[in-house]
Amino acid sequence: MEFEPVIGLEIHTQLKTKTKMFCRCEIVDSNSPANSSICPICSAQPGVLPLLNKKAVEMAVKIGLAINAKINRFSVFARKNYFYPDLPKGYQISQYERPVCEDGYIMLTDKKIRIKRAHIEEDAGKSLHSIGSEQLDFTLIDLNRCGVPLVEIVTEPDISSPDEAYEFLTELKKLLRWLEISNCDMEKGELRCDVNISLRENGSKKLGRKVEIKNLNSFKAVKDSLKYEIKRQSEMIKDNKKIEQDTRTWNAQKGETISMRSKEMANDYRYFPEPDLVPLNLEQRLIDEIKQSIGKLPSQIRDEYIKKYSLKADDIEVITSNKYINSYFEKITNFTDDKNVIKNAINIINGQLLAYINENKINDEDFLTKSPDPEHIYQIADMISKNEISSAGAKKLFEQSLSMKKSPKILVDELGLKQISNTDEIEGWVKEAVEINKKAFDDFKSGNEKATGPIVGYVMKKSKGKANPVIVIDILKKL
C-alpha cells in the first residue's frame, strides 16, 4: 500500500507595529530588560480594559488581501482560555468563530494552497527557566511579549510533501516581508510554525488522523520533522498500529519527534466572545484604502518581468525577492530597456552585488542607501553588452567604482580597462602569433578549436590583456 502525506500549516507572524495589541506599551526586542515594557493592561491587573490597536487590524487586513482572502467586515474577538504562568489573564484574546480573513490561497509554482483563515491574536509572555542545581531551580516570568500582536494563518490540508511545505513558507515569508508586516525572523520568534500531518492511501479522499508538531523554529526543522513523521507514521501503518491524535515536538539534535500530549490531554480552550471588546466592524472605505496601499505584489511583478524582458524565472527570483532589491532594479531600468543590458545587470546583482551585501552584512532595509549607485551598475552592464570590457574588467570596475566613488564610465579609461576592439591593431598581433605558433595554427585549421590557446595567449600578452578575445577568434577564423 502506498501512502500520500497530507499536511496543513498554522503560522503565527508577529506584526511590526510600534505598540502592543491592546495597550500602548512599546514592542521591545528580546534583549530588553525583562518586564521593561509592561503596563496594567498587558500585565492583567484587575479592572483594566483592552483598547484595540488600529494599525494591527490594518496589517491583518493587508495580509488577507495579499493572500486573496475574503475580508470579513464584521468579525469577533474571542477568549481562548488556558492556564499558564506566563499568561496572567488566564486567556488569550484571539478570534474564533468569525475571523477577520477567510478562504484565501497562495499560488506555488504549480499548485494552489488554500488558506482557511487568518485571524488576529495576542502573544503570551515568556518563562525563563534557570539551570541551577536542583535546590536553586526556579522560573522567572517576563511579560514584555504579553499582548504583542500576531496574525495566525491556517492553511487547508492541501500540502503534500515536506518540500511543498518549505516552498509555501518561503512564499509566505516573502509576501509578509514585502508588505512590511513582519521581519519574519524565526530566531526572534517573529514567525512560528506548527505543522499537522497525516497519511492516507494514495488516491483516497478520506483524511487520516493527524499529528501536530508544535513550535518549529526554522523552515529546515519543518522539512526535517515532516520527513521523520512521514517515515514514522508509514511504519506504524505497515505494522498495523493505530495512529492516535497526538501533539509532538521536534528534537533537532536527535532528529526525531516526541509526544507531548495525547488526545486525553488535548486542550479545551472554552472559547467564548470577548465581552470587553465590541465586534470589529470594518468600513469598506478602509478596506479599499488598504488595497490601494498594497500596490503590486511580487508574483504580479514576476509575471510582468517574464513577459517584458523574456528572462528565466530564476533570474527574476532575485530581483523580486524583496521590495528593496526590486526598487533598486527598477532604478536601473530607468536607464535602459535593452534586454541584453538588463540581463547583464541582473547577473551583476545576482553575483557581485549580493556578495557585497552579504559580506558587509547590509540589511534589506539599507539595500538602497548602501548599495552602489544603480546608474553605475547600468553603465557596467552596458559596457559588457557592447563588448567594451571583459568580465574581469567588469568585476574590477564594480569594485573600483565602489571604493573610489567614481562612475565606471570614467574609471574604464582611467584604469585602462577598455578592451581593444580595433580590428587592424588586433589583426597585426594575430598574424605575428600565427607565425610563431605554426603548429597550433595548423591544428586549429584541421578543426581543433582548443588549439588557439598559445595564439590567443600571445595576443593577450602583446595587448596587455586588452584585446577583445571575441575579435581575436574572429580574425583567426578569417585567416
Residues in contact with Zn ion by CB under 5 A are 23, 25, 39, 41-42
For ligand ADP, the closer CB: 27 or 159: 159
Between 27 and 41, whose beta carbon lies closer to Zn ion? 41
Rg (CA), the chain: 30
Which of 39, 52, 154, 451 forms a contact with ligand ADP (CB under 6 A)? 154
Does position 6 bind ligand ADP by CB under 6 A? Answer: yes
Find cell 517574464 and name the residue.
306
- Using the contact rule CB under 6 A, the part of the chain among 8-16, 60-68, 231-239, 315-323 near ligand ADP is 8-16
25: partner contacted, choices ligand ADP, Zn ion, none (Cβ within 5-8 A by kind): Zn ion
Of 4, 103, 156, 338, which one interacts with ligand ADP (CB under 6 A)? Answer: 156
Is 192 a binding residue for ligand ADP by CB under 6 A? The answer is no
Q: Is 157 in the site for ligand ADP (CB under 6 A)?
A: yes
Cα–Cα distance between 479 and 466 in angstroms, integer?
21
Contact (Cβ atoms closer than 8 angstroms) between residue 407 and residue 453: no
Interaction between residue 197 and ligand ADP (CB under 6 A): yes
CB of 8 to ligand ADP, least distance (A): 2
Residue 417 binding: pick among Zn ion, ligand ADP, none (C-beta 5-8 Å cut-off by kind): none
For residue 103, state whether it binds ligand ADP (rule: CB under 6 A): no
- Nearer to ligand ADP by Cβ, of 207 and 410: the residue is 207
DSSP structure string for 235-276: HHHHTTPPPPPEEEEEETTTTEEEEEEEGGG------EE-TT
CA distance 118 to 100: 7
**C-alpha span between 380 and 409 (Å, rounded):** 8
Residue 196 is a binding residue for ligand ADP (CB under 6 A): yes
Looking at residue 29, its amino acid is: D
Q: Which does 156 bind (CB under 5 to 8 A by kind): Zn ion, ligand ADP, none?
A: ligand ADP
**How many residues bind ligand ADP, per CB under 6 A?**
15
- 162: part of which helix (H) or strand (E)? helix 162-178
Partner from ligand ADP, Zn ion, none contacting 6, C-beta within 5 to 8 A by type: ligand ADP
Q: Which of 51, 207, 252, 278 binds ligand ADP (CB under 6 A)?
A: 207
How far apart (Å, rounded) are the C-alpha atoms in residues 161 and 410? 53
Cα 330 to Cα 321: distance, rounded to the nearest angstrom: 13
Instruction: Give the orientation angle of helix 339-348 with respect to helix 298-309, to 10 degrees.
Output: 130
Q: Which is nearer to ligand ADP, 218 or 245 (CB)?
A: 245
What is the nearest approach in angstroms of ligand ADP to the Cβ of residue 321? 26
What are the angstrom distances between the C-alpha of 180 and each of 145, 176, 364, 437? 20, 6, 11, 63
Cα dist from 18 to 23, 27, 54, 86, 402, whole Å: 11, 6, 11, 22, 35
Question: Which of 10, 338, 373, 474 contacts ligand ADP by CB under 6 A?
Answer: 10
- Give the residues lining the site for ligand ADP (CB under 6 A): 6-10, 154-157, 196-198, 207-208, 210
